[in-house]
Each structure stands twice: as structure tokens, then as C-alpha cells.
Structure 1
Amino acid sequence: MKTSLNNSDIFRMMEEWAPKSLAYDWDRVGIQVGSFNAKVKKIMVTLDVLESVVDEAIAEGVDLIIAHHPLLFKPIKQLNFDDPKGRVIKKLMQHNITVYAAHTNLDAAEGGVNDMLSDALGLKHREVLIKESNEELFKLISYVPFSHKDEVHNAFSLAGAGHIGDYSHCTFQTEGKGTFKPLEGSNPYIGNQNEIEFVNEVKMETIVQKSKLSKAVNCLLQAHPYEEPAYDIIPLANKGKSIGIGRVGEIDPILLSDLCDKIKTTFGLPVIRVTGELSQTVNRVAVLGGSGENYISVAKQHAADVYITGDVTFHNAQDAWQMGLSVIDAGHYIEKIMKEATKKYLDQQLSDTSISVMVSEVNTDPFQFV
């Protein structure tokens, strides 16, 4: 069991899932307040970093807060401890609590917020709604003795390499003869110092996404028996998966009114706002967590029957209504779905440590319904 991890270790785990490169350039992701090097014993996951959340973290003995919405989104011109944000920062510093934000990068990431929402809705055959790019792909090649080819093969897959569509463990393997001569100071797994060794090896080739490349190489080095494993990394012209925010796909045909009821039940909402004919049957659904009214026309271009998002204003809702696209405004707070999902991810990553992960119980939705 690992006895001690720093904040930077947790940041690395988050960025393996949601690389900072996926964030929009206007966003503020990563460390917000605190230290890279502080030790971690307890983590709390929250949607927002409000004073009540920080008070909860203090009471629970939390060292690190992982948030979706950045605490420091707009530049601070003065640090006034009488203002709400100033009080929050003061408390964080007094209690040595670090804050880290994963925002639009977690929105866009595979398995991120928009996939969480899509999973909750049962969205099938989904694709990216607002495509920003395609992930870069690399070919990772290693030369492995026969005795460890299965270990390296499995290590590749566990690191996320060799995944193509609905297939895993994808490699191409060719047999050959490896040669090397261990020199003074070496500690060879096979052979003796100052003697040329000939070894039956397998050349193992696999494909890996840029975001998983570092992890794949680390897993290779851990699984490979050689003191100095040989490996090649080759950039590919092949296009990887589309990267972007929002998702669009299909659900079983359902009345719009029944879909509204399903959304209220799924996300624990007392009411939602909707445009369109409630008796119509909908099948193709677009979803974007947070404020998505700027992408109404994109949802229509994807032939969506209904677009689920938050923070829709009157005239934009009216425009959607007139173009024949139903809009369900489920509010911004449905993004709270990230709390349990992020805890689950971190629990898996930290299973061999004593670090605990909790979810904030504070309701940070500013709206009440009366």
C-alpha cells in the first residue's frame, strides 16, 4: 500500500482522465489555491467552492477539494477578507486546503460530465455535439522476451492502449531475435556482463491515444523485465476520437412529456422548463451540461428532436421553438452528477492507498422553487 501521496499525484490522476489540454482557452482549470507538494489524506469532491462547502471541508478534515466549477474564474483585483470570495480564500489558506478545478476539460473528456449525463439518460449511438478536434494517436512498440509477452500485453490494455472501437487488447506481434551486451555496472535480467546475448523476443505494436501515452509507457516499464527496455513511439496520421463538449444520440421513442418526467426523476428536479409540443414523440436527443444556449443551432444541425441543457434565456428558447427544436432547460445544477462519478474514479485510482474520498453534501444550487 502506498503510504503517502502529494496533491500533484492526485492532479496527475485527474489529468489522465481529463487532460488540461481539453479545456477551452478562456477557462481556468488546474490548481486554484494551495500547494502541489502538500500531502493528501482526505479529498472532497464538489460542484462549486462556496463558503459553506469550505466549512464542510474544514469540519471533515479535508486536505484537497476537487471542484468542477473554478473558484478563481475571473481575475481578482483585491483580496478583501470581508467579501465572500476573500473569506473563502482566507479559510482555505488558514486550514491548508488546496483547491483543484476540472471544468471544460472534464466536460469534454471521455467519460466526463456530458457522458455522465448521457449515461443517466440512456443515450445510445452517441457522438460529440460540438467537435473541437480529434485526439492524436501514437503507435507504441516494444520488444519483449517470450516469458513476459502476456504481462506486457495486459499492461498495455490496462493503461488504455490497444483499444479500437469496441475492442481491447489490440496489438500486432512478430517474433524475432534481440541482441544486447550487458556492460560494467549493469544488472541484466538475462545474460552476463560483457557477453553478447541472443534472446527470442516479440515485437509488440499497439495504438494509444495521446492522453494515455504517458500511462501506457509507465505500465510498459513496470511490466517489462529488462533493466533498460527498448520501445518506440511513432506519431500517426490516423484520426482519433472526436473531442468536444455535448453529446447527441438516440433513446427509445418517448413522448416529450414523459421525457420531462424522466429527467425530473433522474436528476431530482422539482420542475423544469420546456419548449415544444408535449405530445410529440422524440427519439434523437442532444445534451450539454451547464450553459448551452449558444449551441441551439448546432443541436438542430445534428437533427436532434430535443436539446437538454441549462441557463436558456427567453429569446433563444423562442428561436428554438420556431425552428422546430424542443428545448428542455434542466438547469445548471444537473452537473452535480460529476460528484459521485469523480469519487468513484478516484476511489479506483487510490485503492492501494489509505486516502479517503468524500462527496460534498452541501447544496450549491442558488435557486429555490416556490
Structure 2
Amino acid sequence: MPVVLAEVMSTIDRLWPIEGAEPWDAPGLVTGDPDAPVQRVRFAVDAVAGTVDEAIEGRADLIIAHHPLLLRGVTTIAEDRYKGALLARLIRANCALVAAHTNADVVEHGTSAVLADRLGLVDSRPIVPGADPALGLGRVGRLAQPTTLGRLARRLAEILPATATGVRASGGFDDPVQTVAVCGGAGDSLLGDPSVRAADVYITADLRHHPASEAREQALLGGGPALIDVSHWASEWLWLDAAAAELRTAHPELDVQVSELRTDPWDFQVVQ
């Protein structure tokens, strides 16, 4: 008997429970017939024209995207709007779309945990623990061997897929680093967290001018972490392989692939 979408959805909810999502989030099934058969699944960070085209051309029955296509309210899905056009293409191709967003951030092998593991952090724990102290938002741990901010930034550049914006750092190139806090995706809301403040460096994405400037000035005055800012897409793309492996284990009969398309929105940078 072929696997149907409802069965895959049950597995998705077990791996990345919807109860773990933030109140403002919109994970879950976006489009698709729960009774439809599923043979091919493709993971992507973003459901955009490129990844939708790739999935349909590869005859995928399901896209599991990290970012919800309909995170914010819409009043139309007319096909002269990109969200409407994407949904129409998916429906016509019988390709379902599911989002696993903040509910996939907080689990044991979530976005930040995968990044922490790739960096080799030991004794890592959530920055913001959940009801289960082992689960929660972000991760903080220590490197087995101390390094410097510059070397750590270069290590990140090796680990993460290349993007136009690359890796940016605030702090001295030779500053010593051992305790590391990480948050995949946009993480400037955690800049004031005690675990982040106590770290030698905080790695996240989408650091805005004012929060980063204030954190830098506070660190100069009373101590605080150096900052490393990376691409939002790149910081979460590493999770896709881990997520795909979990789904393959649960459903070995499925063909599960990971999109390698770069959906970071920036194409080039002029360095002054």
C-alpha cells in the first residue's frame, strides 16, 4: 500500500510537534489532499519559484519547507501575486506543501542544534529551554579546544553554503573564543538573554544595526559576546539534511531529497 499524505503528516508532527511552534507561527499543511499518495519528498528552506519548479520537475508529491509560505495573512491568491501563482502551480501538479518552522527549531535535532553539532560544541543546551529542559530555542555550549573569533568565522564560512553576504563579525580577529551561543535564523531577540551575554560569541542571522550596535557597546562597557552574523538561509539550510535523514528512517519507502538551490535573496555584494 502506498503511503498517503496523512501518514506523512503524522510522522512530521511526531518529529517536529506542532505544539512546539511559537504562537505567531504558521506551520503545518499549506496545500494538499491528505488522502493523496506520496512517493517523492523534497526539503527546502523556502517555498519560492525556484524550489517549487525544481520539485515539480522532479515529480515530487510533497515539499517540506522550513519557512511558511503563508506566515502573514493574505487576502488573495490571484495568480498575478507570487504566493497565488506558487499555490496554483502546486495544486495543478498535485504537489503538497508543508511548513515545519519554529516547531523544527526547538527539537533535539533542530536548526540551532544541527549548527552547534557542526561546530563541534560540547555540553550544549538550549538558550531558552522549553517544558523539557533538553529542548528549546537556540543552543549554547563550548568548543573542545579554544580558538579565536577570526578562526571561528572562517570555520563557519567552510561549514555554511556560500552566500553573497558571507560571514560578518563584530569583535577582534584574535579575541579568544570557547563558549559559543548559536541561533539559526533571525536571533537578535536573544541578544539580552543571560546565556548569550555570558558567551564569548553569539552566532545568528539578520542582525539589525541598532540591536547589534547596542550589544557591541554594552560588551565594550560591561562585557558581552562578540557577534557573528551569517545568512538566514544558510544558517538553516544545514538542518535539511538532518530532517531528511529522520524522515527516511521513519519512511524508508519514500524517495526523500534535499534542495541545494540557494534561496538567500542576495545575489552579489560590493566590498568597500
TM-score, normalised by the number of residues in structure 1: 0.68
| Residue equivalent to 2:20 | 22
| Residue equivalent to 1:345 | 246
Aligned equivalents of 1:260, 1:40: Cα separation in 2: 41
| Residue equivalent to 1:134 | 131
| Cα offsets for 1:175-214 (capped at 9, x unmatched) | xxxxxxxxxxxxxxxxxxxxxxxxxxxxxxxxxxxxxxxx
Matched residue type, 1:44: R
1:358 aligns with 2:260: no
User: Over the residues paired in the alignment, what is the CA RMSD in angstroms?
Assistant: 1.4
1:292 aligns with 2:149: no
1:245 aligns with 2:144: no
Tell me which of 118, 134, 154 is aligned to 1:261: 154
CA drift at 1:243:
3.1
CA drift at 1:301:
5.3
| Residue equivalent to 1:332 | 232
| Residue equivalent to 1:117 | 115
Change beyond 3 A, Cα 1:300–1:110:
closer
Matches within 5 A, 1:1-370: 3-131=1-129, 133-135=130-132, 241-251=133-143, 252-269=145-162, 271-298=166-193, 303-324=198-219, 325-333=225-233, 334-351=235-252, 353=253, 355-370=254-269
Aligned equivalents of 2:56, 2:83: Cα separation in 1: 16
Matched residue type, 1:265: E
Aligned equivalents of 1:121, 1:11: Cα separation in 2: 31
Change beyond 3 A, Cα 1:87–1:301:
closer
Unaligned runs of 5+ in 2: 220-224
| Cα offsets for 1:309-339 (capped at 9, x unmatched) | 0000111111121222211001201211122
CA contact (8 A) 1:248 1:302 kept: no
Aligned equivalents of 1:364, 1:277: Cα separation in 2: 31
Matched residue type, 2:155: K
CA drift at 1:261:
0.4
Secondary structure of 1:261's partner?
helix
CA drift at 1:273:
1.2
CA drift at 1:300:
5.4
Aligned equivalents of 1:349, 1:243: Cα separation in 2: 21
Aligned equivalents of 2:196, 2:266: Cα separation in 1: 32
Unaligned runs of 5+ in 1: 136-240
Secondary structure of 1:49's partner?
coil
Aligned equivalents of 2:262, 2:42: Cα separation in 1: 14
Aligned structure 1 segments of 4 or more residues deviating by more than 3 angstroms: 299-302
CA drift at 1:100:
0.6
Aligned equivalents of 2:122, 2:158: Cα separation in 1: 20
Secondary structure of 1:53's partner?
helix
**Greater per-residue strand proportion:** 1
Change beyond 3 A, Cα 1:301–1:286:
closer
CA drift at 1:368:
2.4
CA contact (8 A) 2:140 2:195 kept: no
Aligned equivalents of 1:317, 1:369: Cα separation in 2: 23
Matched residue type, 1:348: T
Structure 1 window deviating more from structure 2 (88-97 vs 291-300): it is 291-300
What is the identity percentage for the equivalent residue pairs of Structure 1 and Structure 2? 32
Give the aligned length. Answer: 260
CA contact (8 A) 1:41 1:62 kept: yes
CA drift at 1:362:
2.0
CA contact (8 A) 1:299 1:307 kept: no
Structure of higher CA gyration radius: 1
